[in-house]
Amino acid sequence: MNIRSELVLNSNKHDRYKVTVDEYRAFRKTGFLTVKNLLTAVEIDELRAHTDDLMMGRLPEQCNEMEERDSSSYGAISVQSLEAPPAHLTPEEKVQYFLRIHMLHRKLPIHEKYLLHPKVLDVLDVLIGPDILALQSMLFLKPAGKPGQGWHQDSYYIPTQPDTLCGAWIAIDDADEMNGAMWMASGSSCEPVYPPKNGYGYGDRNIESIRYVDGVSNPVDSENDLSAVADCYPQVLVSAKAGDVVFFGGHILHRSKMNFSLDRLRRSFVGHYCNARSFTQWGYDDTANVELAKHSETGMTNGSHILARGDTHLPFARPKFGTYCAALLSPEERKTASELTMTVMGDMESGLMDVTESEVTPIHHD
């Protein structure tokens, strides 16, 4: 048996998660869906132990220390680096040092593993698939006392065209109102993406009279213009147990509040994905094959991101640590994922949609 056949065989060993009709409706209606216990207790233990080690600076990859910074900024900075916190800090201070770390799937096998988790991809297959591109990983640590993130839309930060962005938020710890669980403006997925008045951010600028906004992600509602939009919808607390996964579209307005607890973490592993046939210019990987990672004429960065499921006519990256996914298959093997949609109409005699006479009884009016 060759390596590729082994990969295909291994990929079929997991029990596929079947999205129900009710779950599908819930996602389309509200813009988000919580799938309970999608990850096992063993998987959560693995993620939790890894995160503990990372926070303490015990990973072998954390060979350099981060630059010292003022203690008032502990837990308030997002980073992409993998340095350790300064060694002289106490364990309690180290816990407070990080808030959010981006894109570690490009540096650590365990982050690639959970970005490409087969059951997470099963759900995405139904919601945005069957062709799935894995774009981003984030590790949220959010220690006690740290602020949340104000109202925002993820497509504002990660534009894809067509817009098929979807997040998958894996709870590593139980999350509730006390330690800063997410809130969703339920149903706001029907809203356009509101563009920024100034600076970085994407938006639907071609919509007539669309509001341009300031303060996106600012946790102070009076300073965040999206708060007024969110106030038009029911604001739902999305509590989650460790192992639950919250899926949410790129347009839905969502936020989190401060971790009000005295000693609880609110850790989560978050992946962002889009349909692999969507175009993006976001997330260039300067460690990848430069020719594929960023198209010189269009700025397309699809070649920086991993083809997780299905197939695509656009460039894509392979997983750096060999986690099973569609990118490891041959073009012929990937093609089977789209054979059904290609042949349904073509197999009909005319290739056109069928037409039959109506059986509706006409209504006669006196």
Q: For tokens 């060694």, what's the residue?
A: 87
The CATH number of 3-334, from 2.60.40.10, 2.60.120.620, 3.40.50.2300, 3.40.1260.20, is 2.60.120.620
What would the 3-class secondary structure string for 250-318 be?
CCCCEEECCCCCCCCCCCEEEEEEEECCCECCCCCCCCCCHHHHCCCCCCCCHHHCEEEECCCCCCCEC
Q: What's the pLDDT at 359? A: 66
pLDDT for 64: 84
What is the CB neighbour count within 10 angstroms for residue 353?
7
Contact 132, 121 (CB under 8 A): yes
Question: What are 188-220's pLDDT values in tens digits?
Answer: 999 999 999 999 899 999 999 999 999 999 999
Lowest mean per-residue pLDDT among 4-18, 76-90, 315-329: 4-18
Residue 5 has pLDDT above 50, yes or no: no
Strands of the sheet with 254-256, listed across from one edge: 235-238, 182-185, 254-256
Cβ proximity of 195 and 269 under 8 Å? no
- Domain ranges in the chain are 3-334
Closest to 155 (Cα-Cα) out of 202, 195, 197: 202
Angle between helices 118-127 and 21-30 (to 10 degrees): 70
Residue (of 322, 351, 359) closest to 11 by Cα position: 322
Which of 64, 55, 150, 42 lies closest to 99 in space, CA to CA?
Answer: 55
Give mean pLDDT, residues 18-23: 98
Distance CA 347, CA 95 (A): 60
Is residue 254 pLDDT above 90, yes or no?
Answer: yes
**pLDDT confidence of 341, banded at 50, 70, 90?**
low
Cα distances (Å, whole numbers) of residue 126 to 16, 175, 243: 12, 26, 20
Distances (CA, A) of 283 to 11, 100, 286, 346: 27, 17, 9, 37
Q: Is the pLDDT of residue 261 over 90?
A: yes
